[in-house]
C-alpha cells in the first residue's frame, strides 16, 4: 500500500511569492489533514477534510492560506503571498472514517521563505 505522498519535499521562495503544496492520501482514506510544524515544535492542525468538505478550518489563516480537495481525494494547500514566518514543514495526513483513529503522515514539504 502506498503511503501519503506529498510534493514538493523542499521549496525555497522569496517573500511575497506564492507557493502550493500537493498531497495524495492513502487510497480509501476519507479524512485528510494539513498540519504545520515549526522548528522544534509539535505539529498544529491547519485544516481537516471529510471527503471534499472542510469540517475544521478554524486554525487556517484565511487571509493568505487556502486549501482545496475538489474530488475528495488529492488536496492542495496554497500560500499567497508567503511571509518569512511561514517557513516551516507542512504535513499532510489521512485516515479512514471508521475504526481506530490512526493518522498516517506524509514525509512533509519543507518551506523556506527568504
Partner 1 sequence: GNSVTQMEGPVTLSEEAFLTINCTYTATGYPSLFWYVQYPGEGLQLLLKATKADDKGSNKGFEATYRKETTSFHLEKGSVQVSDSAVYFCALISNTGFQKLVFGTGTRLLVSP
Residues that bind partner 1 (CB under 8 A): 31, 33, 40-45, 48, 55-56, 91, 93, 100-108
| Spatial distance between the Cα atoms of 85 and 101, rounded to a whole number of angstroms | 31
How far apart are CB 16 and partner 1 at their closest, in Å?
29
| Spatial distance between the Cα atoms of 50 and 43, rounded to a whole number of angstroms | 20
How far apart are CB 93 and partner 1 at their closest, in Å?
8
Cβ proximity to partner 1, 81 vs 107, nearer residue: 107
Cβ proximity to partner 1, 14 vs 44, nearer residue: 44
How far apart are CB 63 and partner 1 at their closest, in Å?
22
Burial of 55 (0-12, 13-18, 19+ CB in 10 A): exposed
| Spatial distance between the Cα atoms of 14 and 81, rounded to a whole number of angstroms | 10
Amino acid at each position: 500500500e502506498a503511503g501519503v505522498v506529498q510534493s514538493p519535499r523542499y521549496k525555497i521562495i522569496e517573500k511575497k511569492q506564492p507557493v502550493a503544496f500537493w498531497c495524495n492520501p492513502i487510497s480509501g482514506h476519507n479524512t485528510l489533514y494539513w498540519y504545520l510544524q515549526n522548528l522544534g515544535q509539535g505539529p498544529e492542525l491547519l485544516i481537516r477534510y471529510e471527503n471534499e468538505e472542510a469540517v475544521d478550518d478554524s486554525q487556517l489563516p484565511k487571509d493568505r492560506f487556502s486549501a482545496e480537495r475538489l474530488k475528495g481525494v488529492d488536496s492542495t494547500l496554497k500560500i499567497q503571498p508567503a511571509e518569512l514566518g511561514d517557513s516551516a514543514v507542512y504535513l499532510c495526513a489521512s485516515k479512514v472514517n471508521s475504526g481506530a483513529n490512526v493518522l498516517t503522515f506524509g514525509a512533509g514539504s519543507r518551506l523556506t521563505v527568504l
